[in-house]
Structure formats: C-alpha cells, structure tokens
Structure 1
C-alpha cells in the first residue's frame, strides 16, 4: 500500500506539471483504477485491470501483504481512503491537463491514452457511483467531480456516453427519493453543463445536444416529482433542500444554454411551461436562503440574465431568435403576478440577522445591527416591476393596465415600506427605487428601464385614445402615486450620484448594465416631455427650499397658471406628506441623507475594466442602441461624425482608462463644442445650486433642472473630447445629437422667461 501511494504521489506531481511519463500506460492504469475502500483494500486493484481490454496478464502485481490483524485494521482503512482520494484527484487533474492547450503535445497524448484505457473498463463508472453511497462525504464529492470530468472528456473526444451512467441517471431522476444518488447525479450533471458553457470550442452546441438528448425526458419527470412533494411530510427535509438547490442550479444552466447557444430542447423550457411549481416552493417552510435563491433565480429568468458569468465572452456572435421565448416570458410574468396576488410577498422572510462569509452567524461584540435582507428586497421588487412591464406589452386596454398597476404597486410599496428609511416613507413614492437598489447598479437600472417601459406603454395608450386633459392629469398623478414616474426616478438617481457627469460617463462606456439603453430612452422622452420635466423640477426645488410642499401637487399641466395649480394642490395634497427637516437639510446641500450611500463617485467609477466589452454581443448592443422600435434619432450629425472610430472595443477601453481619470480636471475647462451656454450669462436671475428662488419667491427652472442640464453639458463635452481622440469605445453620434437637442430646448425655454 505504501508503494502504491508513493507511485500515485509521483504520478500526481508529474501530471500537475504536465510532464512526460516514464512507465507503461497499463502500469498507470492499474494504479489509477478506483476501489471503494469499504469493498476491499487496494490489493484488489490488479483484478480490476483484468476487465480492461488488452490489459489482461500485462499488469504487474503491486506488492501484497498478509491479512491485517485487528490492531492494524484502522491504519489499513485510512490508507485505503487516502489511496482512493489520491486516485480520484490524479484522474481529474489528468483530464484537465489533457484538455488544456498549455500541456505539451507528447504529454497530452500519453494522458489521453491512459484515460481512454480507463474508460474502456466495464465497471469503471459503476465503481465511481458506488462511492456515492459511502458514508464519507468527501469521498462521494471527489467521485462526483471525477465522474463529471470524465463525462466531459467523453463529450469532447466524441466518445459515446456510458450506458451504465445513463441508466443510473434515469433511475435516480425518475422520481424524487431521499437517497444520496439523486443529489450526486444532479451535481454531476450541473458540473458537466458548466464545463460545456465555459468552454471556448466552436462545437459547444453539438456537445450539449449529445449530452442532453438521452436525458431530455428525464428532466421533466424529475421536475414534476420534486415540486409535487409535501415538504412537511418528508422524513429528512435537509436532503430535500439539497436536491432543490442542486436542481435549481441545473435549471439555471439549462435556461442559460437556451439563451446563449443555438439549441432548442424541451428540457430547456420546462420551467417556463410550469413556473407555478417553483413559485409554490416560496410558501414552503424552508430556510430563508432557499427562498432567496428561488426569487433571485426567477428574477434572472425574467431579465434573461441566466448564466452571464459562465457565457460572457464565449457565446456565439449571433444566436438565432427563439420563437417561443417571448411567450414563455409572458407566461412566467403572469405566473409571478398571480403568485403576488395570492400572497407571495407575505411568505418572504426579509428581516433577520445579516449573514457572514460562509453563511455563519455574527460574532458576539461585532457591533453590527441586524437589518433587512436587501437581496430579497431587490429581487422581489424587480420581480414585480419587470413582470408588469412584460405583461403590459401585451395589453390593449389602458384602463386594465392602470388597475393592475395600482394593485401590484400598492402591494409592492406596502411590502417595502417597513424596510425603507424613515425619511423615505413620508416622501415621494418614486424614491423607493433609488433606495431599494442603492447598492446594486445593474438591478437599479433594470428596474428603472422596466418602470419607463410601463410609463411609455401607458403614454402611447393615452395618446392613441386622445384622452382629454383632465384624464391625462389624473394619469400623471397616478404615475407619482404609484412610484413609476420616469422623471422623478431619474432625478433621484442624479441626486444619489451628486450630479457627477463622470459617473454617467462610466456607465455609458460599461457593458455591465443597461444604462446606455435606459439613458437613450429617457433622453428621447425628455425631448417630448420637457414641460412636465420642468414642472417636476419645480416641485423638487420647492421641497429643497424648505417650503415643505409635496411634489405630487406639481403634476398640473405646464400650460396652467399659478391659480389653477393651487386648485389642484388642494385636491391632491392629501395623497402626499411633507419631508422632515433632516431630509430637507440634507437635500438642500445636494447630498443624500445619512446613511444613504452614493451609487458612484469619481474615485469608484474612474476606472473601466477592459473585460467589460469583451463580449461580441455586448459591443454590438452598444452600437445598435438607436435601432429600437421607438427610435426617432436615426441620422448622424456631420458636426459629430467620426469616421475613424477605434475598431477594437478592448483597445478603446484601454485607451479610455488613461483618459477618464483626468475628466475631473477637464471639467474646469471650457467645452470645445461650438454652442452657446446652457443658461445665458446675461440673465440677471440669481441662481443657486441647491434651490433657486428669486427675491419674490418665484420658483425658476434653474434649480435641479439647472444641475441636470449642466451635468448633461459636462457629459456631452467629455464624450465629444473622447470621440475626437478616438478613445470612445463605440460611435456616440446619435447620443451626442440627443444631448445637443436637450441643450437646445433648454436654451429655448430659458430665453422664453
């Protein structure tokens, strides 16, 4: 046994370094063939070689020892356990080295031959699966990892999958059982799918099809069996939780393969066809982390962001559209909203102690106070707002949409209210979004984009119906009351970043969020809805100037005079309340109230990772943002045309890294754009930065509106300078044109004063 361990250790060191091997291949096969320690000692290994074709009679017998005495039994068992673990580790590393491009060709061929001889053994897979039944969890885990590596090797080398393995999967996934075989089976399948999606070969679709086809029907059977269980009646609920967690990971990978690869299998749609099965688990008396994983999983599915960490940079440049995807997303959105109607939010555990690294409890005396689970709050909020957005795209009645929006947003705001800051509870309902997503940029922008989609859909419906002014005013107030007015949401976002244009620039040159799409859609809305934007800014300025008036009262028509404003205020004042003194003082200084965190700052957003634009799809979406259905800016402006754009996004971002850091200094310089100032210098109106009130207490548009347009002006100048030096990672001509139009309409409105 000691000699066997010594040979295995030498082999492990050689394979780890990718070095060539001296011994004959069959000698190594004899020492690598796994033996379950509970079934015997490693001395039985040569008999296993006899099952390998071409190996009979050629294996050298390792030195045998006499039958151990009872005193030596423990030592022998420990040695057998160490030998088995080392065997599994060597095989796994050997597979990794064989598939690596860094391994020398001669050594790689030797490793490949040894692995193929091992796979020819009729009982090789059965011995690995036998280890799943071992009471030793480490041994079972290593056996599953080793088996997953060998399965992936078979797929890469176009070797037929083992009939024993397929039968093992079909048996353990035919129905849910509380044995360990099903959990290890799910783990192995998940590990293989991860390797396929992470791979860089051009035949990933064919490999995945070869792997999924034999097990396609089995996944649906297990799906129905698992989610039809009565959790309270199970004897061992921990095994159910393990199976649930592993199967959710498997479902996520199956959906990711659907989104990122050109493959359509029934098992990839099983979740979308029966989403209520998964949603029912939220009502089970399971641990909070299980519900959290469920909600986050569903959120990723709605956003089509499943498998981003695995597939980024390795997906095909163009994947054919999935004809069933829109219908599946609609079915999922309707199922989510139905679950919310049935009390989904009431079953979520939001309060509790914050978890430490590894999921442990807080150490005594750490001084950290318990708080809500912000991950649950963000996921549940985005779940509802995105589901409404998807469902509303298929609505035809503005009245039905308004009713549904009122019902679900009231449910959401009531769910969030106990967990928001005290100052937010009594302020503008639209502030919920920036508060809930303050620490998660990507989710915040997805929620803002979804809320804008709802607003635009309702806007088009009201415009098509040619609604009278009074109905439109009530609808405008409805947008504030239910927290989805896009102007308020954007202004709260700018407040959180302290109107810093460098933060906006960082978002624009990053492909990690949907900010570019969101920003372009908002600028187009701003051009059409400029008067409403100025009216909302007046409300912000009045609040910031300590007049204590609720912003909902400023939702009158821009054409109405001051007296009609006061009339409507008297009707709507009951729907809002005043800001407290602390919030007013904080906002008057232009900063967010404590303990509010800033989404971005010049220090945290000045550096852009070059890997952000590595995905072909990401760079393509950045260039094609103007090709949407509601795009109204399709032409290019000769003043900003740049025919010598950098061809490589990575190169552009690398150059941009050296330039963005100096933007803070460049902001002090005059803009190179040949345009007049945003606000005329000859104006005698005394403008302050926080709240602009003239001596006669008249509110001018030069408060938060001034800071907003000034931020756009600085952003426009920064983009223009980067583009002029070929440092911007994509063609920003249409974006610059939108910013230029905003500047023009602002100047026009100021000159009209």
Structure 2
C-alpha cells in the first residue's frame, strides 16, 4: 500500500498548482481509485493502539502509513481534482485533462467503491467518504446533466433500513451537501434533476421521518440497542429538514416532499420537547421552527435572502398548518415542556466560568415562533370563517398568557417589571429577533380591536388588555428606545440597513402614533411614575421565578391555572444582527458622531471624516442593500401618498402634549425622534441616504409637530 504514496505525493503537488499531470489519464485514475473497505480499515486499530503517528505532510521524508491513511489521502485528492476541474480559473486544457480523469474514475466505478467505505465504524473514513461522494454526485449533476443512480439508490436503501445503520449518518450528510449546493448553484438548478431526486425520495423519506422521530427514547449509550435513534442522527435530520424548507421558500419549489416537511414532519417534531433527548436537540427544533416561520430557513448557509420574496398561496397554506399545530400545542401546555439551561460560554462546552442565567436564545426563539404562528393565523384567508383550526381573535390574550407564563418560569426580575418589558429582557442580545417580535405584536394589535381600549388616567392603564397581554405598542416602542439609550444614531443605523424589518415596523408604528398620541403621552407618564426604567440587562434576570403577588393584573385570570403537562403528549393533529451594549459614554459619543455625520456636504466629506482620528463609525451601508427595492417596499407600505400635516388635533391631545413635556421618558422619546428626523432630512438633502425617505420624513414631521 505504501508503494502508492510517492505517486500520490506527486499528484497532490500537481493538483495544488493546477498543473498538467505527467502520468497518463489511466494511470492517474488507477492511482486515485480507493481500496476496498477491508484494506482501508486494516491497520486502523494498530494505528490507534500502537501509538503510530501518521504524517500526511507530503514534504516529510519519514512517514508511517497504513492502508486507511492512503485511502483517506485518495479521497481527499479526488475532491481536489473535482474542484480544479470545475474551476474556471484553471486553464482550459488542464481542466479537460482533469475532467477526463474524473470520467475514467466514474467508468471504473469509483462511486460504488466509495459507497462501500460508508459502511464502517471509522467515523473519519466514513465522513471523508461522504464528502467525496457528494462531490462526485454534484459534478455529475452540473456537467453531465444526470443523477447518479447508485447514490440515489443508496439513499433509498439506507432510509428503508434500521435507523441504527452505520450508513445513515453519512447518507444524511451527503443529502444535505447535495441539496445545499443545488440551492446556491443556478447551473445545477437549470438541469431539472432536482425534481427527479425529490420525487423519487418522497415516499421513502417521509416514511423514514414519521417512524424515526417518534422512536424514543433516544439511545445515548455507547452500544445502542437495535432500532434506537442516536441524537446525532436526529440533529442531522433536522438540518436536512431545514434545507428542504429553504428549497421550498427560496426556489418556490412546489413539490410534495417539501409540503410534507412543513405540514407533517415539522409538526411531528414538536413531540421532541417531551422526549428524553439532549438539550441541544430541543434547542435545534425550536430554532428550525423559528427560521421556517420567518421565511428564513437556511439563513446560516445561504449567501443572501431575497428581501421581498413574494410568498405563494400554497406556501402560506403549508405554514398555516404548521402554525395551527404550534398554537394547538401551546394551548395544551407545550411551552411548559421547552427547557432553558444556563447560558454557556465556550461555544456550548463545559465551563465553570459560564454566565448564570437562562438561555435567552431558546427563550427568544420559542417566543418568536408562537408570535409568528399567531400572525400567520391573522393573515390566513380562511381565518374569518369557522372551520378546522379556526381560532377566535379573542383568544390572542389566551396564547399571550401562555407565553408570559412560560417566560415567568425561566425569567425572574429583581423588581416588579411591566408585562410589556418581556420583549426587551428576552431579546436584549438579539436585535434582529427583537424587531421581528415588535413588528408581529404591532400587527396583531392593529388587527385586534379588543386591544385598542383606552384609559382615562394612569390608574386604569395597568388594566388595559394590551398591557395584560404584554403587547402594548407604545410600551414596546419606549422599551426599544430605552434599550438603545434613546440614541437616534442606532435607529438611523437600523433604517439604512439592508434588512427592512425595522423600516416596516417603524412606519406602521408612526402611523399608529399619529392617531393615538394622547395614549402615548399617558403611557410615558405612567412609566415615569411607576419605575425609573432601569436598563434591562442580563444582570437583572435571576434564575428563580419572580413573585407576581404585587402585580396589578394577574395572568392567572387570562390563562387560568397552570396546565398539567404530565398528560400532554404533543400537539393535536387538527389543524445581520447588531448587538448594542451601550454605556452612557458610548451613547454620547454616538450622538456627537451623528451630529457630525449630518453636517457632511458630500460623500467625500464623509470618507475624509471616517479616515480621521475618530474611531466611531455611526453609519455603514450594508452590502447588498438595493435602494430601488427599498423604495418599492415603502410604496407597498402605503408611504407614497402625501401625509397631511394638519394641526387640528383634539383638545385633549393638545393638553396632553403640554402637560407631559416635563416627563423624562416623553422628553427623551420626542428628542430621539426629532434627532432622527433631522438626521434623515440632512442626509437626504445631501443625497447620502440609501433610498428616498420623503414619505418617512412626512410621518416623522407629523409626529414631531404633535409634540409641539
């Protein structure tokens, strides 16, 4: 076996340099052909127990190789060969030679030889074999416009076998790699082979998922019993499910397999919350649900998302099924089964110095999933007529009560906290999710007339349904401003971002604020009197649940007694983020930088300022932001019409503006909006704003006029 090493060493150098191969094509292909599984695994035990150290440094003279090492080297070189053959930077005649070697390898059955290596207990060999096989499959799809039938049959046979099969993990990983590449490679998508793969796998894959997920308990012992499902298999399966949902959303792939994932398999995955699976599995389930409901499946590996991805009716219907299942589960106490361990540093590893406190990531993802499920129900066309999965609008308070009860179990405040402050406390480290939550709560508030009750004074304001449900839009906006220390430069940064979530939320809220100014002023005064509005931070959260005995409005009256989760087996079958940890000093310096920023007369002045001694960068136009798309989005939000700056406000609103000018929170909020208006106006006049903000400025001007 070691006789092949000099040839492999020379081949490795040529491939790295993208140089012509000295050996003929047949000889090079024979040199790269992997050995049989018995030869490949031979010596691996000796390699581990005898203390041999394999040197894969090809420039080293002294080396000790076993057949397994040579096979691993062959698999790695095959991957390099395919990458160089695909690379347009490689010279055409060299690409042709490399492609010829790949073709000879295919004719010699390299794919079947690699597949035999998957059925081994050697995890390294199995993993590298899976990656190499995926490269071959993708090469065949891209350049030969055909599906590798051996690979497809391997996947089908593996999914039909027992879940404890050693080939299951490499098979799932290979499927993930192939689907991910199809998702980002337009040339492969044009071949039309994706539909052939998914239609062939549909029945077998759905059957595998429906039998694999409920097969619990999960085996964690070194030698699991036959039929047991390992946690790594479930984690890999969840990754694959997210990729399939990403295919459905990004490519608008209207195939039955993707529909089954959204409407059958993911709802079934909710049962994992009550299963004896590791914590990271439950956390992964919640995160996958959140990304799917946000239309952001695959955001971790996709190069970019379409900002204005038009959703089709079929996709909305599939997500409605998932949303209905989540809400049914919440009604049965599913949230009480969602765990939250202490936040851990070291990328999830054990560390005695880890910060204490709840895992805000899983709490935030679970909260956002419930809110998006409610929002989807509001926008469902069949929502207005009773039927399967029908939920009355009045039940919003019920689900919000369950959500607040869930958060109360994991969060504890040292002092009594306003119900609406849960958004700031849970999402203090996740700006993007916090904006999504604020937008969802605002939309539900606007769609629910029962939440629009008003109070005559601050004594009754606690009792408003919107406060008891933790979704009053004015409170949430004020807590958002408090999170950024009423710093207009942060809001400006949100507005010029390529993400439009804050723009959507801000526009809708300003429209509401015009019509509800008196309540906004009243809430500012109430918050000033009831609490100094200490900045929410992780330090304010303790691990013990807070006592609610002094709260003016008990959530027990909303959701009733605690649900007994012992009888809950699962749901019914019916239906870039920036973290602002700001101190006063940072805030003041940001405001100063904002003042300098809006004084620029041209983009050249801006560049010269940034090249100076000031280290504070207030505005950075994110790559990929399309001003025409954002202008179109503002048009969709109804911002093209002229906003009347009529000052014929009611007498009580005028009195409110006069009475509450001395209020601290009111003053800070109005000052922040005024600074933001001035900054946007100045940048727009200097043509430094990334899109046309004229309509947004009209809304801000109207609100600022009300404050005067």
TM-score (structure 2 length as normaliser) = 0.77
Question: In structure 2, do the counterparts of structure 1 residues 712 and 202 end up closer, same or farther at CA, with 3 Å as the change threshold?
Answer: farther
**Cα displacement string for residues 541-591 of structure 1 (whole angstroms, at most 9, x for unaligned residues):** 323579xxxxxxxxxxxxxxxxxxxxxxxxx983289xxxxxxxxxxxxx9
Q: Superposed, which structure 2 residues align to 1:422-437 within 5 Å?
A: 422-423=413-414, 426-437=416-427
Distance 2:41 2:532 in 1: 83
Tell me if structure 2 keeps the 8 A contact 1:508–1:516.
yes
Q: Is 1:361 aligned to 2:361, yes or no? A: no
Find the counterpart in structure 1 of residue 38 from structure 2.
38
Find the counterpart in structure 2 of residue 307 from structure 1.
298
Find the counterpart in structure 1 of residue 6 from structure 2.
6
Question: In structure 2, do the counterparts of structure 1 residues 97 and 319 end up closer, same or farther at CA, with 3 Å as the change threshold?
Answer: farther
Find the counterpart in structure 2 of residue 608 from structure 1.
620
Q: Is 1:344 aligned to 2:323, yes or no? A: no
Tell me if structure 2 keeps the 8 A contact 1:129–1:143.
yes
Q: Is 1:635 aligned to 2:641, yes or no? A: yes
Distance 1:145 1:77 in 2: 25
Find the counterpart in structure 1 of residue 468 from structure 2.
481
**Cα displacement string for residues 319-338 of structure 1 (whole angstroms, at most 9, x for unaligned residues):** 76422111112111111111
Q: Give the number of the structure with larger relative contact order, counting CA–CA contacts within 8 Å between residues 6 or more apart.
A: 2
Distance 2:643 2:461 in 1: 39
- CA drift at 1:173: 1.1
Question: In structure 2, do the counterparts of structure 1 residues 235 and 513 end up closer, same or farther at CA, with 3 Å as the change threshold?
Answer: farther
Tell me if structure 1 keeps the 8 A contact 2:445–2:451.
no
State the SS of the aligned residue for 1:146: helix
**Cα displacement string for residues 2-40 of structure 1 (whole angstroms, at most 9, x for unaligned residues):** 441111122112212322222211110010111135147
Report which stretch shifted further, 128-137 or 413-422: 413-422
- CA drift at 1:622: 2.1
Distance 2:462 2:228 in 1: 50
**Equivalent in 486, 490, 504 of residue 517 of structure 1:** 504
Tell me if structure 1 keeps the 8 A contact 2:474–2:520.
yes
Find the counterpart in structure 1 of residue 275 from structure 2.
284
Find the counterpart in structure 2 of residue 439 from structure 1.
429
State the SS of the aligned residue for 1:264: coil
Question: In structure 2, do the counterparts of structure 1 residues 606 and 39 end up closer, same or farther at CA, with 3 Å as the change threshold?
Answer: same
Question: In structure 2, do the counterparts of structure 1 residues 267 and 176 end up closer, same or farther at CA, with 3 Å as the change threshold?
Answer: farther
For structure 2, the 5+ residue unaligned runs are 43-49, 55-62, 534-549, 556-579, 592-614, 648-653
Q: Superposed, which structure 2 residues align to 1:662-701 within 5 Å?
A: 699-700=660-661
Return the index of the structure with the highest Cα Rg: 1
Q: Is 1:226 aligned to 2:226, yes or no? A: no
Tell me if structure 2 keeps the 8 A contact 1:272–1:332.
yes
Find the counterpart in structure 2 of residue 405 from structure 1.
396
Tell me if structure 1 keeps the 8 A contact 2:152–2:197.
no
Q: Is 1:268 aligned to 2:258, yes or no? A: yes
Distance 1:248 1:341 in 2: 25
- CA drift at 1:612: 4.8
Q: Is 1:454 aligned to 2:444, yes or no? A: yes
Question: In structure 2, do the counterparts of structure 1 residues 513 and 240 end up closer, same or farther at CA, with 3 Å as the change threshold?
Answer: farther
- CA drift at 1:411: 1.8
| RMSD (Å), alpha carbons | 3.9
State the SS of the aligned residue for 2:313: coil
Tell me if structure 1 keeps the 8 A contact 2:375–2:444.
yes
Question: In structure 2, do the counterparts of structure 1 residues 510 and 334 end up closer, same or farther at CA, with 3 Å as the change threshold?
Answer: same
State the SS of the aligned residue for 2:464: helix
Q: Superposed, which structure 2 residues align to 1:640-655 within 5 Å?
A: none
Question: In structure 2, do the counterparts of structure 1 residues 462 and 41 end up closer, same or farther at CA, with 3 Å as the change threshold?
Answer: closer
- CA drift at 1:703: 3.1
**Cα displacement string for residues 350-392 of structure 1 (whole angstroms, at most 9, x for unaligned residues):** 13462523x32115xx3x4432111111111111122122223
Distance 1:133 1:165 in 2: 14
Q: Superposed, which structure 2 residues align to 1:74-473 within 5 Å?
A: 78-121=65-108, 123-174=109-160, 176-199=162-185, 201=187, 203=189, 206-231=192-217, 235=225, 239-274=229-264, 275-313=266-304, 321-352=311-342, 354-357=344-347, 359-363=348-352, 366=353, 368-394=354-380, 395-396=383-384, 401=392, 403-423=394-414, 426-459=416-449
Distance 1:545 1:136 in 2: 61
How many pairs align? Answer: 608
Question: In structure 2, do the counterparts of structure 1 residues 40 and 263 end up closer, same or farther at CA, with 3 Å as the change threshold?
Answer: closer
- CA drift at 1:626: 2.9
Distance 2:330 2:395 in 1: 12
- CA drift at 1:286: 0.4
Q: Is 1:724 aligned to 2:702, yes or no? A: no
**Cα displacement string for residues 184-209 of structure 1 (whole angstroms, at most 9, x for unaligned residues):** 11110101112222335484573533
TM-score (structure 1 length as normaliser) = 0.73
Distance 2:398 2:376 in 1: 16
Distance 2:130 2:188 in 1: 27
Tell me if structure 1 keeps the 8 A contact 2:212–2:229.
no
Find the counterpart in structure 1 of residue 596 from structure 2.
none
- CA drift at 1:93: 1.1
Find the counterpart in structure 2 of residue 745 from structure 1.
706
Question: In structure 2, do the counterparts of structure 1 residues 621 and 397 end up closer, same or farther at CA, with 3 Å as the change threshold?
Answer: farther
Tell me if structure 1 keeps the 8 A contact 2:344–2:351.
yes
Distance 1:255 1:134 in 2: 31
